[in-house]
């Protein structure tokens, strides 16, 4: 039986391969139950039918999740042409049919040219965005459709994989806030035949890759058998692009007390570096630091005791 106390060493990030037909919060609940730990959180929602990478933070590492939410993501999207649904995916009610037999790969390639760099995208009604305290999907389920302001999103790359009419597969590399379901619907409108997202698999989220992920059932088993150390990654991976600072014992104590340290000598910030991961002499993450260019100091932003 698990205790309700949280062991001091239970901190880190798990790269979970989410299965289909459960929510991202279901993943959190299952890990919370298997581990007996309270402080569990995920770093980016996946729709229930979607699979793939979902970073899960354990213990104090949950304080680093905000950095993951801003990270880039990549997906393999399977899109079916000729049908449009109210949810833009296979879960919804069909709203339009159209014969897509005349759509060619060249047509698709031309249509994809509309999705490059920064574009404006309108969030779907069936999403977790809140308007006046209500989630959009709650309103949609009650038959209420509200105006959604288009948002600026970024597409870094679109890679065409295959087209076996009426289904195509595309790899999408994008920034935060991008809805692949909306992309599928928008693509169908440009092609003039309608489309919906048939399936979705997240290949990466920030530094986490599907190749290094662990199936959820194996994550749960590792906790139940006391082998969580095999799947827990060092929490600083959440901001691996940030500069690394190796602190002395004195600097470690100062930072843990919320004090600033000098950014000179061996801790001079890299060019354009505004953030750093600070580690104690024994290799544990002590803090996330921000560089104060005016005083040439590093100030603690988040401290881990």
Same domain, 190 and 212: no
Q: Are 205 and 53 in contact (CB under 8 A)?
A: yes
Mean pLDDT of 84-112: 94
Instruction: State the total domains in the chain.
Output: 3
Residue owning tokens 């569990």? 40
The domain boundary, picked from 204, 225, 260, lies at 204
Q: What is the predicted pLDDT for the residue at 3?
A: 38
Range of lowest pLDDT (20-24, 138-142, 162-166, 242-246): 138-142
Q: Let me know if residue 4 belongs to a domain.
A: no
Q: Let me know if residue 3 belongs to a domain.
A: no
The domain boundary, picked from 182, 204, 226, lies at 204
Q: Which domain holds residue 113?
A: 73-204
**Cα–Cα distance measured from residue 8 to residue 284, given in angstroms and rounded to the nearest whole number:** 12
Active-site residue 47, yes or no?
yes
Same domain, 199 and 212: no
Q: What is the predicted pLDDT for the residue at 226?
A: 93
CB atoms inside a 10 Å sphere around CB 3: 8
Q: Let me know if residue 1 belongs to a domain.
A: no
Give the confidence band of 39 by pLDDT, cuts at 50, 70, 90. very high
Same domain, 166 and 78: yes
* pLDDT, averaged across the chain: 91
* Per-residue pLDDT tens over the stretch 43-63: 988 989 999 999 999 999 999
Same domain, 126 and 178: yes
Same domain, 178 and 102: yes
Angle at 204 between CA 208 and CA 217, to 5 degrees: 70
Same domain, 215 and 94: no
Q: Let me know if residue 109 belongs to a domain.
A: yes
Q: Let me know if residue 78 belongs to a domain.
A: yes
The domain boundary, picked from 236, 253, 288, lies at 236
Same domain, 80 and 189: yes
DSSP letter, residue 194 = -
Q: Let me know if residue 144 belongs to a domain.
A: yes
* Per-residue pLDDT tens over the stretch 7-17: 445 789 999 99
Same domain, 192 and 93: yes
- In this prediction the pTM is 0.89
Same domain, 127 and 187: yes
Q: What is the predicted pLDDT for the residue at 273?
A: 67
CATH of the domain at 287: 2.30.130.10
Q: Let me know if residue 82 belongs to a domain.
A: yes
* Per-residue pLDDT tens over the stretch 151-181: 999 999 999 999 999 999 999 999 999 999 9
Task: Please state, in angstroms and as integers, the Cα–Cα distance from residue 264 to each residue in 124, 204, 247, 269, 286, following that order.
Answer: 49, 36, 13, 8, 19
Active-site hit among 21, 26, 47, 266: 47
Tokens at residue 45, please?
């929602």
Residue owning tokens 């801790």? 267
Same domain, 60 and 78: no
What DSSP string describes 238-287?
Answer: GGTTSEEEE--HHHHHHHHTT--EE-SGGGPPPTT--EEEEE-TTS-EEE
Same domain, 163 and 77: yes
CATH of the domain at 199: 3.30.2350.10
At residue 131, φ and ψ (nearest 5 deg) are -130, 120
Same domain, 228 and 258: no
Which candidate, 215, 220, 299, places its Cα nearest to that of 262? 299
pLDDT at 2 over 60: no
Residue owning tokens 């970073």? 55
Q: Let me know if residue 182 belongs to a domain.
A: yes
Which candidate, 212, 155, 176, places its Cα nearest to that of 67? 176
**Cα–Cα distance measured from residue 275 to residue 243, given in angstroms and rounded to the nearest whole number:** 6
């Amino acid at each position: 039986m698990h205790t309700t106390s949280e062991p001091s060493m239970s901190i880190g990030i798990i790269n979970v391969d989410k299965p289909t037909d459960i929510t991202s919060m279901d993943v959190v609940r299952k890990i919370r139950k298997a581990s007996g730990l309270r402080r569990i959180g995920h770093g980016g929602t996946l729709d229930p039918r979607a699979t793939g990478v979902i970073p899960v933070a354990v213990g104090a590492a949950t304080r680093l999740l905000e950095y993951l939410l801003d990270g880039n993501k990549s997906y393999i999207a399977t899109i079916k042409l000729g049908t449009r649904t109210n949810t833009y995916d296979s879960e919804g009610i069909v709203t339009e049919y159209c014969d897509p037999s005349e759509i060619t790969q060249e047509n698709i390639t031309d249509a994809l040219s509309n999705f490059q760099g920064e574009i404006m995208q309108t969030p779907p009604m069936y999403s977790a965005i809140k308007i006046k305290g209500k989630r959009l999907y709650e309103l949609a389920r009650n038959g209420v459709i509200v105006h959604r302001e288009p948002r600026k999103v970024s597409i870094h790359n679109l890679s065409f994989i295959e087209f076996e009419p009426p289904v195509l597969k595309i790899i999408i590399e994008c920034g935060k806030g991008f809805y692949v379901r909306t992309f599928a619907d928008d693509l169908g409108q440009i092609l003039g035949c309608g489309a919906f997202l048939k399936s979705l698999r997240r290949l990466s989220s920030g530094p986490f890759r599907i190749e290094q992920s662990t199936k959820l059932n194996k994550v749960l088993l590792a906790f139940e058998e006391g082998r969580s150390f095999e799947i827990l990654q060092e929490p600083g991976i959440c901001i691996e692009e940030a500069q690394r600072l190796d602190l002395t014992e004195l600097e470690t104590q100062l930072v843990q007390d919320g004090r600033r340290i000098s950014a000179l000598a061996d801790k001079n910030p890299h060019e354009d570096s505004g953030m750093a991961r600070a580690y104690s002499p024994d290799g544990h993450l002590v803090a996330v630091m921000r560089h104060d260019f005016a005083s040439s100091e590093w100030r603690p932003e988040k401290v881990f005791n």
